[in-house]
Amino acid sequence: MRTTYVYGNDFWDFYNLQKPEVQDKIDWVIGLVRSLRMIPEKYFKSLEDTNGLFEIKIKVGTDIYRIFCFFDKGNLIILLNGFNKKSDKTPKNEIEKAMRLKQKYYVEQS
């Protein structure tokens, strides 16, 4: 079993803007991430060249959403920020934002 923690307000700002059916799917996928020993790549994937950043993948109809996160202290997953993915490639500015939030988290932990 994994535990999730939301760092800052970016995730909640994103989450609260979504329609109820999108929020329900986000909750469901995060539940999978918390409880499954092996999470299918369809829902959870490591991002290359990001020093431990992962993305939680959500699809509702034709809309695609991503939530960036990382592991801390073993099974603790830190949720950072989310966005509506509108192209095949993950926007560089969203990855950079997640990396800044991750760095800020570790600075505050020390």
Non-local (6+) Cβ contacts of 55 within 8 A are 44, 45, 47, 66, 67, 68, 69, 90
Residue pLDDT, tens place only, 33-56: 999 999 999 999 999 888 899 999
Q: What is the mean pLDDT of residues 81-85?
A: 95
Cα 27 to Cα 65: distance, rounded to the nearest angstrom: 13
The token pair at 11 is 């995730």
Q: Among positive and negative, which fits the CA dihedral 53, 31, 43, 9?
A: negative
The CATH architecture that domain 3-109 belongs to is 2-Layer Sandwich (3.30)
The overall pTM is greater than 0.85: yes
- The ranges assigned to domains in the chain are 3-109
Alpha carbon of residue 109 to chain centroid: 20
- Which tokens is 60 given? 């509702």
